[in-house]
Amino acid sequence: MNVRDQELREQAMKRVAAYENIVNQDPYRLHYHIMPPVGLLNDPNGFIQWKGTYHLFYQWMPFKTGHGAKCWGHYSSRDLVRWRHEEIALTPSDWYDRSGCYSGSAIAENDMLHVFYTGNVRDEEGNRETYQCHAVSKDGISFEKRGVVARLPEGYTAHFRDPKVWKKDGRWYMVLGAQTERLEGRAVLFTSQNLTEWSFLGDLTGSNTDQLGEFGYMWECPDIITLDGKDILIVCPQGLEAEGFRFQNVYQSGYFVGELDERKPALRHGDFEELDRGFDFYAPQTTKDESGRRILIGWMGVPDQDEQSQPTIPNEWVHCMTLPRELSLKKNRLVQKPVQELRTLRQEEKNAHISLKQDTEMLDVKQPEKAEILLIPQYIEEGFDISFRGAARLIYSKTDGLLTLERNSYVDERTEARHCRVERLKDVNIFLDSSSIEVFVNGGEEVFTARYFPYPGNNRVSISARKEIKAEVTSWTLA
Ligand code: FRU
């Protein structure tokens, strides 16, 4: 710990205390999602279950509601549902990370928790340097920095970051997001035998390689996982053009399913699929927990997406995480299910049978600012829509095989929409928090994730039938 580190910690804690009341009176503070105590949160980092406890670190700018020299904030949990804010894990206090302890990951080895992150350094002229750094902890709370373990190889710009580390056959691997000097996004691989000396292996895949055409000028936050014997690269490409219903957000987050050959290195893979159909989803990170589940948490935000217009900004905080979701693979597509522990939040179950003909009915959702709704249709003619507190709508057109999430834009109140194709609608599981909505469709085969900002007094949740709908609807208050 150096003097700068001490100062930054003290200043951050002062800000938390000074703004506690302002932040907490915001009606858009979430009830059961992770958010920053003050300031800005972005990517999840270092997600791991270690000695029974889940640790989720995050990109935290405690000093303003904008980006800058990030710390690693820290939450811990025994059950993925109730989280405790811990002391700051890393501050940007050293020469190699002074403009930000950027995103990275955690692994456990020899009774220690190890984290790998990107040290971001910028000089007065804005020139960037990047260093892959290592820190260790005996208790999972306080970390000792070990400094730089990998440097920028030739042929890439300093947009080279976000190490995700794993072990296979006794060796360590680190995947990073990168940009070539020709401004092509790439995922690259390093390897190590001892966690301290890393050597560069090469590109796995990326824009303008033999498997992809133009595919973005930078790739961020890669993650490599194995499910059902398939290797999957999850990654966030920047610079893709919108194409029909796809790639509608400023930057994308999705995956390639394939086969990884670490020695070459190469990832043979299929097409890029988006992970989420909503407005706010980026930089997800996964971990395999002690029960063997692959769990994903994402940032419920997207960089450069009008963040300063979010209505929480005047109250000195912005952004939150998605719910934790269990991943599985079905027909080469990732399926995301809210983790089962979330059921422990369920209170006051209500059951209703809906039978509507060209009509609208209120749904019995007592506290829609913290609720879960499960809708199982029995019969649909044409389609239906569900309206959430006057600020968002889920619209199903059976005729077009299309599901749409609309919301009032937080920039100008205009209605904006995201869509995906759904051949047959079997179930819809919706999680509402005071300023977020997550819609899991057909057991998580499709997901829409979004922030939304209803007028706090408007608690109306209603369903309308285009022609006819019969459905079972269950709802719970979540507390
Ligand atoms: C993604 C990202 C990462 C970077 C971090 C900085 O949102 O840009 O690439 O490490 O955020 O906060």
3-state secondary structure (DSSP) of residue 251: coil
The pLDDT of residue 28 is 98
221 in the same domain as 174: yes
The whole domain housing 402 covers: 342-478
3-state secondary structure (DSSP) of residue 344: helix
List the one residue out of 377, 376, 425, 375 whose CA is nearest residue 400. Answer: 425
350 in the same domain as 309: no
- pLDDT tens-digit series, residues 310-340: 999 999 999 999 999 999 999 999 999 999 9
Exposed/middle/buried for residue 308 (C-beta within 10 Å: 0-12, 13-18, 19+)? exposed
114 in the same domain as 190: yes
pTM: 0.98
Report the Cα 122 to chain-centroid distance in Å: 26
Exposed e or buried b per residue across 382-400, where buried means at least 16 C-beta atoms within 10 angstroms of its C-beta:
ebbbbbbbebbbbbbbbee
Q: How many helices (H) and strands (E) does the chain have?
A: 1, 34
29 in the same domain as 132: yes
The pLDDT of residue 170 is 96
Q: Hey, how many other C-beta atoms are within 10 angstroms of the C-beta on 66?
A: 12
315 in the same domain as 406: no
Whether 43 is a known active-site residue: answer yes
Query: Of 322, 338, 354, which one is at a domain's C-terminal end?
Result: 338
Residues with CB under 6 A from ligand 1: 42-43, 59, 70, 102-103, 118, 161-162, 220-221, 282-283, 303
Number of domains in the chain: 2
333 in the same domain as 357: no
361 in the same domain as 433: yes
The pLDDT of residue 40 is 98
The pLDDT of residue 343 is 98
Element containing residue 9 per DSSP (H, E): helix 3-24
Q: DSSP E strands: which ranges in 51-96?
A: 53-61, 71-77, 83-85
315 in the same domain as 373: no
Catalytic residue (one of 5, 43, 228, 231): 43
Contact 226, 234 (CB under 8 A): no
Intervals of the chain under pLDDT 50: none
- pLDDT tens-digit series, residues 110-162: 999 999 999 999 998 989 999 999 999 999 999 999 999 999 999 999 999 99
Exposed/middle/buried for residue 52 (C-beta within 10 Å: 0-12, 13-18, 19+)? exposed
Say which CATH number the domain at 54 has: 2.115.10.20
Query: Of 315, 338, 361, which one is at a domain's C-terminal end?
Result: 338
100 in the same domain as 124: yes
Look at the alpha carbons of 141, 107, 193, 206 in this order and tell me if their dihedral is positive or negative.
Answer: negative
Report the nearest atom of ligand 1 relative to the CA of 282. 7
The pLDDT of residue 329 is 98
Say which CATH number the domain at 361 has: 2.60.120.560
Token pair 């309308």 in the structure block, residue: 464
Q: Which of 58, 65, 102, 253 should be mutated for ligand 1, with most atoms under 8 A from CB?
A: 102
327 in the same domain as 366: no
Q: Hey, how many other C-beta atoms are within 10 angstroms of the C-beta on 55?
A: 24
The pLDDT of residue 126 is 87
